[in-house]
């Protein structure tokens, strides 16, 4: 199905469900955009946390009776698919109170403008991310800005709420903590929270406030050393090295309390494979992996050190 047909189908679902019609911005074109934007059904990750993104770009919804928190918005053409997933799961886009961003690149931030218009939610990001939202493109010191402002462009968002490292944002009972994981971008942010559900699921399970099973949830931002040609993480005559900050960020991710981790690009942690294995009704939910953050960080650190060696040869 074409991008336009997918958008039209998603919007028709929103209208039929009595939701405010979402007005998407013009589709972004890139080499991987069609692959990233393939739709998948939204599903419960754990407790009150739901996956509402696409096959290649993550978006999560954390729900409560007092309002919801959405994390990321994908491409411009992802916004209707995200909204449609939210509705199909039984929630309302208008009940989203905060939209949190991992980093201000077109593949994670471009759909946020349309989702903000539809929900009236406040957009939240790091200071550097807020600068990117105001500019409508990657910030000048972004490792990927060398690809060009046009290639990095996405719909701007004004009046973004800026949060600092370790700050907690809340909606009713929901509390999500910001972690500065700068490196992939100057404003890269990883978010953590807890989700709970009855400890003994099933028809005889006691209703809350009975025994609860709570897990540490991590929405891990990209910690890959990807950059435009000519950029040096090790610095040059005009810019200082970013290696130590990047190492610190990777270490931060590896040390987080981490029962379930979802990455901004779901294929980085085999979300599709885990979802398939979950359908096999295994004794342990494949999404629960306390080592996931450590493994992601270890692999990222190896890749960064290899990048440093290559840059030092030049």
Tens digit of each residue's pLDDT (9 = 90 or more) over 29-45: 999 999 999 999 999 99
| DSSP H or E segment with residue 193 | strand 189-198
Q: Residue 161's domain is classified under what CATH number?
A: 3.60.15.10
Domain assignment present for 144: yes
Domain assignment present for 29: no
Tell me which of 46-50, 52-56, 149-153, 177-181 is least confident: 149-153
Domain assignment present for 64: yes
> pTM of the entire structure?
0.92
pLDDT of amino acid 212 = 86
Mean pLDDT of 174-194: 98
Full domain range(s) for residue 166: 3-21+35-313
Residues 6+ apart with CB under 8 A from 235: 241, 242
Q: What is the pLDDT of residues 116-138, one digit of tens each?
A: 999 999 999 999 999 999 999 99
Domain assignment present for 30: no
Domain assignment present for 77: yes
Peptide bond into 27 cis (omega under 30): no
pLDDT of amino acid 128 = 98
Residue 186 or residue 211, greater confidence: 186
Domain assignment present for 212: yes
Pairing state of beta strands 168-171 and 174-180? antiparallel
Domain assignment present for 57: yes
pLDDT of amino acid 155 = 98
Total count of domains within the chain: 1
The alpha-helical segments, DSSP class H, found in the chain are 3-16, 33-36, 79-88, 106-109, 112-119, 127-135, 149-152, 243-254, 271-279, 292-313
- Residue 209: pLDDT band with limits 50, 70, 90: low
Q: What is the pLDDT of residues 215-269, one digit of tens each?
A: 999 999 999 999 999 999 999 988 899 999 999 999 999 999 999 999 999 999 9
- Residue 308: pLDDT band with limits 50, 70, 90: very high
Residues 6+ apart with CB under 8 A from 168: 175, 176, 177, 178
pLDDT of amino acid 205 = 55
- Looking at every residue in the chain, the average pLDDT score rounds to 93
pLDDT of amino acid 231 = 95
Domain assignment present for 181: yes
């Amino acid at each position: 199905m074409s991008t336009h047909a997918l958008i039209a189908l998603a919007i028709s679902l929103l209208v039929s469900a009595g939701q405010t019609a979402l007005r998407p911005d013009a589709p972004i074109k890139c080499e991987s955009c069609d692959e990233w934007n393939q739709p998948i059904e939204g599903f419960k990750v754990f407790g009150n946390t739901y996956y509402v993104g696409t096959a290649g770009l993550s978006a999560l919804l954390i729900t409560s009776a007092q309002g919801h928190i959405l994390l990321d918005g994908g491409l411009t053409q992802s916004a209707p698919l995200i909204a449609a997933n939210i509705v199909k799961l039984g929630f309302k886009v208008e009940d989203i109170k905060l939209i949190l961003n991992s980093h201000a690149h077109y593949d994670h931030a471009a759909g946020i403008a349309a989702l903000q218009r539809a929900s009236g939610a406040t957009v939240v990001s790091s200071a550097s991310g807020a600068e990117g939202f105001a500019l409508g493109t990657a910030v000048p010191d972004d490792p990927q800005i060398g690809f060009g402002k046009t290639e990095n462009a996405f719909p701007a968002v004004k009046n973004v709420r800026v949060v600092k490292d370790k700050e907690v944002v809340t909606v009713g009972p929901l509390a999500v903590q910001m972690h500065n994981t700068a490196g992939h971008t100057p404003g890269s942010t990883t978010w953590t929270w807890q989700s709970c559900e009855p400890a003994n699921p099933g028809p005889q399970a006691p209703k809350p406030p009975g025994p609860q099973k709570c897990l540490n949830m991590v929405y891990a931002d990209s910690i890959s050393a990807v950059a435009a040609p000519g950029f040096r993480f090790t610095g040059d005559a005009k810019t200082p090295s970013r290696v130590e900050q990047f190492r610190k960020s990777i270490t931060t991710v590896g040390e987080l309390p981490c029962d379930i981790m979802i990455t901004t690009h779901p294929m980085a942690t085999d979300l599709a494979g885990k979802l398939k294995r979950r359908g096999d009704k295994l004794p342990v939910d494949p999404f629960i992996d306390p080592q996931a953050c450590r493994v992601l960080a270890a692999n990222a650190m190896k890749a960064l050190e290899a990048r440093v060696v290559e840059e030092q040869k030049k």
